Amino acid sequence: MERAKIRLFVEQPLGQGNSVPMTQPQANYLFNVMRLGVGDVVALFNGQDGEWTARVVDAAKRRGMVVCEQQTLPLQTPPDLWLLFAPIKKARTDFIVEKAAEMGAAKVFPVQTDYTNSDRIRQDKLQAHAIEAAEQCGGTYVPEVANIKKLSAMLDAWPEDRHLLFCDESMVGEPSRLQDLPQGPWAIVIGPEGGFSDRERDALRSHPNSHPISLGPRILRADTAAVAALALWQSALGDWA
């Protein structure tokens, strides 16, 4: 079977013979922009059923239908890693969510901290960024982007078994030791451009699940820090290991 060049995220269940209607923007993209027509194939994933090759059976300007023919990839779930980050400027926040999806975070939590640059996020837009990132990086899983919550509230109700990788800028210059960290569910915590307040640092350091780490000899911007921490964790404990 020919290999599809275009990958699309859909909401519908995928399986042999399943018909999947295209949304108006998907139909526009496939049939107007990319000039696909009846008989062509696309790759579909929905975050649950792996990747499927589907054939176009109806191609109109504003609608279309494809039918699943063959599974090309099983569902590949990332390790149980959350990313908690404080939203910064819009383009950099978008970047963090995109990179979290590419780097294999299971769930993304925007959190409000004492020095958070922005308290509002468009959860739907951020979720769309995660979907786009999965479409382009060949992923079959899309991390859920949660609505913004207070960091303090999350720490108060923290799951007992989940370790916290606290990226603490006050440890700049210390070695970033990840060799001896335990296996299990984890969460990376990245602060905003203004860093963490003393109060937050105390709460994060004294939390029973916390493992404070340094990200090297330079202070990184929050978006760089998120990618660096994800890479370190994935290579020490995750699916790069």
Residue 152 in the binding site for ligand SAH (CB under 6 A) = no
Asked if 166 contacts 178 with a C-beta cutoff of 8 angstroms, the reply is no
Residue 177 · residue 232 · CB < 8 Å: no
Per rule CB under 6 A, is residue 167 in the interface with ligand SAH? yes
By C-beta, is 50 or 110 nearer to ligand SAH? 110
Angle CA 198–110–87, to nearest 5: 70
Q: Please, which residue, 112 or 127, has the CB nearer to ligand SAH?
A: 112
Q: Which residue is nearest to ligand SAH (CB)?
A: 191
SS3 breakdown of the chain: % helix, strand, coil, rounded to 5?
Answer: 30, 25, 45
| Per CB under 6 A, 220 contacts ligand SAH | yes
Q: Does 87 bind ligand SAH (CB under 6 A)?
A: no
89 touches ligand SAH (CB under 6 A):
no
Interface with ligand SAH includes 215 (CB under 6 A)?
A: yes
Cβ 157 to ligand SAH shortest distance, Å:
21
User: Does residue 178 belong to the site contacting ligand SAH (CB under 6 A)?
Assistant: no
Binding-site member from 135, 194, 203, 231 for ligand SAH (CB under 6 A) = 194
Question: Counting contacts by CB under 6 A, is residue 202 touching ligand SAH?
Answer: no
Per-residue CA distances from 165 to 57, 62, 96 (Å):
48, 46, 17
Cα distance between residue 2 and residue 70, in whole Å:
11
Check residue 83 for interaction with ligand SAH (CB under 6 A).
no
Q: Is 222 in the site for ligand SAH (CB under 6 A)?
A: yes
- 105-134 residues in contact with ligand SAH (CB under 6 A) are none
| Nearer to ligand SAH (CB atom), residue 48 or residue 170 | 170
For ligand SAH, the closer CB: 92 or 107? 92
* CA distance linking residue 95 with residue 207, whole number of Å: 29
Contact between residue 9 and residue 135 where contact means Cβ atoms under 8 Å apart: yes
Q: Please state the closest distance from residue 197 (CB atom) to ligand SAH, in A.
A: 10
Quickly tell me which residue has 């993304």 as its tokens.
Answer: 108
8 Å CB contact between 75 and 203: no
Tell me: does residue 100 bind ligand SAH (CB under 6 A).
no
Name the burial class of residue 107, with classes exposed (0-12), middle (13-18) and buried (19+) by CB atoms within 10 angstroms of its CB: middle
Stretch that binds ligand SAH, among 52-60, 99-107, 149-157, 194-202 (CB under 6 A): 194-202
Contact 132, 95 (CB under 8 A): no
Query: Can you give the binding site for ligand SAH, defined by CB under 6 A?
Result: 167-169, 171-172, 190-191, 193-196, 214-216, 219-220, 222, 225
